[in-house]
Amino acid sequence: KSTLACALSRELYCRGHLSYVLDGDNVRHGLNKDLSFKPEDLAENIRRIGEVAKLFADVGIIYIASLISPYRQDRDACRALLPENAFIEVISSLQMFLHIAFLNPDDFTDWTLHNT
């Protein structure tokens, strides 16, 4: 998931877009170091990441969260924080989730995301 997120970030940069990759493991060393892997802490982990994504989107930076998010309700809560169509969820064949927050998703209407 991190490799895909970094490749996407490089491609966005080549197309002139600012982006930031935040890997789930890195978040656990700082912002979420007080959380465990209990279901309620997993939900709080995703909630905090969603709030950070919203801050990045507010200033026009594409936020790529590379993490495992097992609960649909948590992903839906993050989606609700952002403008309509500004949250793109990519699910890999290994059931890992990549969340991308766009300030203006219309800039990316010509993109096709392939799930392999």
pLDDT at 102: 53
pLDDT at 94: 52
Domain containing residue 108? 1-114
Distances (CA, A) of 2 to 22, 23, 68, 81, 85: 9, 6, 11, 23, 23
pLDDT at 103: 52
pLDDT at 99: 53
Number of domains in the chain: 1
Catalytic residue among 9, 69, 92, 93: 69
Task: Please list the pLDDT of the chain residue by residue as tens digits (116 residues).
Answer: 788 889 899 999 999 999 999 888 888 899 999 999 898 998 999 999 999 989 998 898 999 988 888 788 998 999 999 888 888 887 765 544 555 555 555 555 554 444 33
Q: Is 2 a known active-site residue?
A: no
**For residue 67, what is the domain's CATH number?**
3.40.50.300
| Residue 3 phi, psi dihedral angles, 5° rounding | -60, -45
Q: Is the pTM of this model over 0.85?
A: no
The amino acid at residue 65 is: A
